[in-house]
Chains A and B, each alone.
Chain A
Amino acid sequence: MTQPALEIRALRKSYRNGFEALKGIDLKVAEGSFFALLGPNGAGKSTTIGIVTSLISKTSGKVTVFGHDLDREIQEVKRNIGLVPQEFNFNNFEPVAEVVVNQAGYYGIPRREAWQRARHYLGELGLWDRRKDMARTLSGGMKRRLMIARALVHEPRLLILDEPTAGVDIELRRSMWEFLQDINCDGRSIILTTHYLEEAERLCRNIAIIDHGRIVENTTMRSLLAKLDTETVVLELRAAAHQLPAHDSIRLRRIDDLTLEADINRGEDLNHLFQLLDGAGIRVQSMRNKTNRLEELFIRMTQTVESTGLDTRRAS
């Protein structure tokens, strides 16, 4: 049996000012997976990542990476992880190539090989031509890619990216996604934190949702989506509807004279919606999905956690 890429048990973190950022989280990421840690700002994503990568000390709990215990085999843990942090953290006054070559050196990779690897990864990320420029002269998207090259140079089995596409334009985001998917196909495990829901949905097979320092949900993307029992569509009408028909699995709501919203139970045929509308003499001009499905789920989940605290965890 292979060891999970990452296993976290009962992890807690109280910062020095007394703020409890992690309130006992459990997480398991299988080897080879592309895993999303999703949560709103301030949820505790970066704190979790920081602890796993030795940048933040934990208050209690257990962290293992490919079976190596963070408390007892920290060197092995570090060797297996590559980190792309949320904030730029390279030396702005160092040439691009040196940022990568030096990082390789810290992992004991001889300088000549370090240069070969720097060439490879900077090349793949489209930065080799900029290798002699000071890091500070790169654009935001390039800086992010520089950090990806730096994180890969020691060829870690687990790549962790903390909000890698925050502030990156849409085109670049797409190419970054493709790059990460290729890396994942090569067998590298990837953990990505994000508050872009589309990103998690698009990339990740497994997902955990974190909020207020607690894991709210930890499952496959597929079963998470299946949990969403309804989908909402917005209907633009040709003429005002006066009476709305009722149905068990389709609930209609009036937004204004010419706009309706319909909550449709998952599994229900859309034909039923139109039969229902036809029967009431309502003529639809156009229809669109209200929001991203995951987003809706996400909003619902974080709301329940906020209002009822721990109890929803047991209920779900």
Chain B
Amino acid sequence: MHELKVTEDILRIANEEGEACQAKRVTDIYLTIGKLSSVVDDSVQFYWDYISQGTICEGAILHFNRPPALLRCRQCGEIITLKDELAPCSECHSFDLEVISGDEMQVDQIEIEKD
């Protein structure tokens, strides 16, 4: 899908934050990308290797945390993990479920070197 845009944004954030702490180099970047955001890790990595060149993030290792989506049953309140896309509530078998997490995309932490 639009991994290039996602990767460009990761680079922008990591460069900004790295520069703000006077980093010489950003060595590691920790990402949380929920399973519901249809982003493919390998494509992000592919773009990353190109677009990070010549920045303080060049060569930084991307760490992907891909938490599963959580659904809350509107009937009984049970919270279930989304496995099969269309499985009903494991408690009461209702399909009246709302997504409560799984589409988050964020940069959590960076690891930097100052000298």
Q: Do A and B bind?
A: no
